[in-house]
Structure 1
Amino acid sequence: MELRTASPAELKTVYETFLRSSFPPAELKPLRAMMDMYNDGCYDPLVLVDGEEIMGACFLWLGVPGWALLDYLCVSPTRRSGGYGAKILQLMRQAYAGWTIIGEAEDPAFSPDPAMAERRLGFYTRNNTLIAAYDSEAFGVRYKTLYWSDNPVDEAELALQHRFIYESSFGEEKYAKYVRIPCPAGAKPMPQIPWDQ
């Protein structure tokens, strides 16, 4: 098995067959946005392959060198519960050794399915993630902020780089309207809307 950058055709296949069935519309970027970011060099869709079969994928949204956001992690519906998600994270960290990788997991307190959100957080904590002291929000979905790093991380810098990844792609106006990093404690969630607004 190897983790490598997907071809455009593989990115489309993973989007249609894995992501659409795994993420609600409020959490799923449009494929055309991913393709634009991929073509601009700020998106690295990595696929776990065994021969010709795609077992799963993780998509990294790249910031300044040394910083990235784990945008999506998914495993083929036929390969779930086989340890492939953990394998993808392990290989992702090897491929991006020395980088700080930020993650987001839906906050169970605001999730329509709190039990599922708790299971996802449990999966990430079993796979060596750290949970930041601040939460984030994008398009009305509240997230716990996670990260992996080989070195100590100042959380003010973490929030700055996290915000930069979104703002550099969306622009200041769209960022201000739909994203909060960090999300103020006690803030009422914004309405959930699709990513392509």
Structure 2
Amino acid sequence: MNFRLLTAKEYPRWYHDQLSEAFVPQERKPLPDILRLLEEGRYEVWGLFDEDELLSYAALWKNATIPLVLLDYLGTTRARRNEGLGSDMLLRLEQQGRPLVAEAEFPVPGGSDAENALRLRRIQFYIRNGFTPAYIMSTCGMVWQALLCGTVEPLENIMAQHKTLYGDVRTDVVIPLPEGQTPQPPYWMI
């Protein structure tokens, strides 16, 4: 398997074939925003390939002024799910030595049992792969469990860095989320 950054010509296909299939519209940044972040050097999309076939991917959001990197999207192609490729991807990212924050959707009170079980399964996936639950936050109109890996700074600093990655424009991002506060939708859904 080959672990490498996607090329510029691979981004649109990745977005339309993989990201659009795996993530609902309110979770999915518009492609022009991702391309802008890539052009600014603030975003990376890593892929795990078998020859030219993409098997798994990880999109990382970064900022040159802070060490923390946001694992913005992690996914495995539909045909290759449940083969351990997501864990393999996380291990390769951890080996880069950058502190990571991941976000996994938090169970919804009163939500369907099946959906909440899936949400808990995703949180447990990160925990099994060395991440530690740290705080509850909101973005994209949903509540998320923030999980950390490779961080050594005080939690207040981590939360400030996490918010910095999103920037001031993202008013839907609340870190940490006060109990009882209703999450707001992202700008692309308003």
Q: TM-score, normalised by structure 2?
A: 0.90
* Superposition misfits of 4+ residues, deviation over 6 angstroms: none
Equivalent residue pairs, number: 186
Provide the identity percentage: 28
Gaps of 5+ in 2: none
Match among 114, 128, 131 for residue 130 of structure 2: 128
Q: Following TM superposition, by how much is the alpha carbon of 1:196 offset from its aligned partner in structure 2, in angstroms?
A: 5.8
Structure 1 Cα separation of the partners of residues 183 and 125 of structure 2: 27
Q: AA paired with 1:188?
A: Q
Q: AA paired with 2:116?
A: P
Structure 2 Cα separation of the partners of residues 2 and 40 of structure 1: 25
- Map of 2:174 onto structure 1: 180
Q: AA paired with 2:180?
A: A
- Map of 1:119 onto structure 2: 121
**Do 1:29 and 1:196's aligned partners in 2 also have CA atoms closer than 8 Å?**
no
Pairing 1:145–2:139 present: no
C-alpha offsets along residues 67-104 of structure 1, whole Å, 9 cap, x if unaligned?
2100000101110011100011111111x21x211110
**Do 1:5 and 1:46's aligned partners in 2 also have CA atoms closer than 8 Å?**
yes
Gaps of 5+ in 1: none
Counterparts of 1:85-96 in structure 2, within 5 Å, are 85-94=86-95, 96=96
**Do 1:44 and 1:61's aligned partners in 2 also have CA atoms closer than 8 Å?**
yes
Counterparts of 1:24-39 in structure 2, within 5 Å, are 24-39=24-39
Q: What RMSD in Å do the two structures reach over aligned CA positions?
A: 1.7
Query: What SS does the corresponding residue of 1:181 show, helix, strand or coil?
Result: coil
Q: AA paired with 2:9?
A: A
